[in-house]
Amino acid sequence: MNIDNQHFRTIWPDPTNNESIMIIDQRQLPHKFVIETLCTLDDAVIAIRDMHVRGAGLIGATAGFGMHLAAVQAQTGQLADALKQGAESLDKSRPTARNLKWAVDRVLKAAENGKNDDEKKEIVFETACAIADEDAAFCKALGQHGLQIIEDLSKAKNGETVNILTHCNAGWLAFVDYGSATAPIYAARDAGIDIHVWVDETRPWNQGAKLTAWELQQEGIPCTLITDNAGGHLMQQKMVDMVIVGTDRTTHTGDVANKIGTYLKALAAHDNNIPFYVALPSSTFDWEIDRGSDIPIEERSGDEVTAISGLAEDGSLQTVQLTAPETRALNYSFDITPARLVSGLITERGIVAADRKSIHQMFPEK
């Protein structure tokens, strides 16, 4: 993705020294574009936990590189322990995104193939890089599959603007590149299709307002920010042609965990006969959990609800209190959209119905 015409991924090894990892500190966007260096396993854990990086794919890539940092720091003869401890700390950093454990397990398994610690360290780094490269490649590929849906809608509207609603940020910033929900949008733009995106602000962290709107603007995609509660009304007014969201974890039976509020959008889309698609690289599938209700839902601090942050007049980023000081707040970060409300899952292999049989047919090796 381009920022001021320069291509960036969201995470990359320091080119002068593969022993540290560079990220974009997303807490400061869209006001400040700050590149942060992660030097230790703890840096990676904090970056995930405190949302310097966020979004399923990027959390997975950061976890992969976090394992690399654990290996870099390991004392002679202590690599196995360092990787075990790295896996435990990373696994606990955020509970819902499936890509986190998937990446950690993939690194651990790959490391077993090394004949000695030096070789294992090399494999850990190569695997972390492969996870990041694959994430970008899968998002690009799923964008081409999702393009078909937008093309069909455009044809049905005789080339009039296709209005797409999205929730939270399943964009470039949530992955290594392209994004999941945004990849079909970028592909449609490249194909010359007239599109416009409704961006849910996505309280309380405001990923839509702060990240998706900025990201789409950087890419020159027409978009309009809306309050989280506006979607149903826009759908009733026929101002939405389709919904595309991302997901933090999707069961192999088709239930979708995504940012809190997604379920309400799916209900409104269903009631208004509007297609509701979920875009994901296959690393987000959970092949063990059968029911969405068994997915762990992260509960974050109520402070994210009672306070709000933004750019002050003096140019500094500030957090201000929104509510009366003693107000209690409950802050579930994700909800579950049942498979029956999902029109299809857009994956790197193609579009698949959100049911166990279809998903397993598309991924028979699982």
Q: Which residues bind ligand MRU (CB under 6 A)?
A: 54-56, 168-170, 174, 180, 207, 245-248, 258-259, 333
Contacts of 108 (CB under 8 A, 6+ apart): 67, 83, 87
Strands 249-251 and 242-245, bridge-based pairing: unpaired
Q: What are phi and psi of 293, to 5 degrees?
A: -65, -15
If the CB atoms of residues 80 and 297 are measured against ligand MRU, the closer one turns out to be: 297
If the CB atoms of residues 10 and 253 are measured against ligand MRU, the closer one turns out to be: 10
In the complex, what is the shortest distance from the CB of residue 17 to ligand MRU, in angstroms, rounded to a whole number? 28
Contact (Cβ atoms closer than 8 angstroms) between residue 22 and residue 14: yes
In the complex, what is the shortest distance from the CB of residue 52 to ligand MRU, in angstroms, rounded to a whole number? 11
Of the candidates 200, 228, 248, 335, the residue annotated as catalytic is: 248
In the complex, what is the shortest distance from the CB of residue 167 to ligand MRU, in angstroms, rounded to a whole number? 6
If the CB atoms of residues 54 and 189 are measured against ligand MRU, the closer one turns out to be: 54
Distance CA 231, CA 199 (A): 9
If the CB atoms of residues 154 and 247 are measured against ligand MRU, the closer one turns out to be: 247
In the complex, what is the shortest distance from the CB of residue 65 to ligand MRU, in angstroms, rounded to a whole number? 17
In the complex, what is the shortest distance from the CB of residue 300 to ligand MRU, in angstroms, rounded to a whole number? 8
In the complex, what is the shortest distance from the CB of residue 47 to ligand MRU, in angstroms, rounded to a whole number? 12
If the CB atoms of residues 99 and 154 are measured against ligand MRU, the closer one turns out to be: 99
If the CB atoms of residues 300 and 360 are measured against ligand MRU, the closer one turns out to be: 300
In the complex, what is the shortest distance from the CB of residue 99 to ligand MRU, in angstroms, rounded to a whole number? 8
Active site residue 248: yes
If the CB atoms of residues 240 and 257 are measured against ligand MRU, the closer one turns out to be: 257
Residue type, 280: L
Phi-psi region of 337 (alpha: psi -120 to 50; beta: other; left: phi over 0): beta
SS (H, E, C) the chain: CEECCEECCCEEECCCCCCCEEEECHHHCCCCCCEEEECCHHHHHHHHHCCCCCCHHHHHHHHHHHHHHHHHHCCCCCHHHHHHHHHHHHHHHCCCCHHHHHHHHHHHHHHCCCCCHHHHHHHHHHHHHHHHHHHHHHHHHHHHHHHHHHHHHHHHCCCCCEEEEECCCCCHHHCCCCCCCHHHHHHHHHCCCCEEEEEECCCCCCHHHHHHHHHHHHCCCCEEEECHHHHHHHHHCCCCCEEEECCCEEECCCCEEEECCHHHHHHHHHHCCCCEEEECCHHHEECCCCCHHHCCCCECCCHHHHEEEEECCCCCEEEEECCCCCCCCCCECEEEECHHHCCEEEECCEEECCCHHHHHHHCCCC
The residues annotated as belonging to the active site are: 248
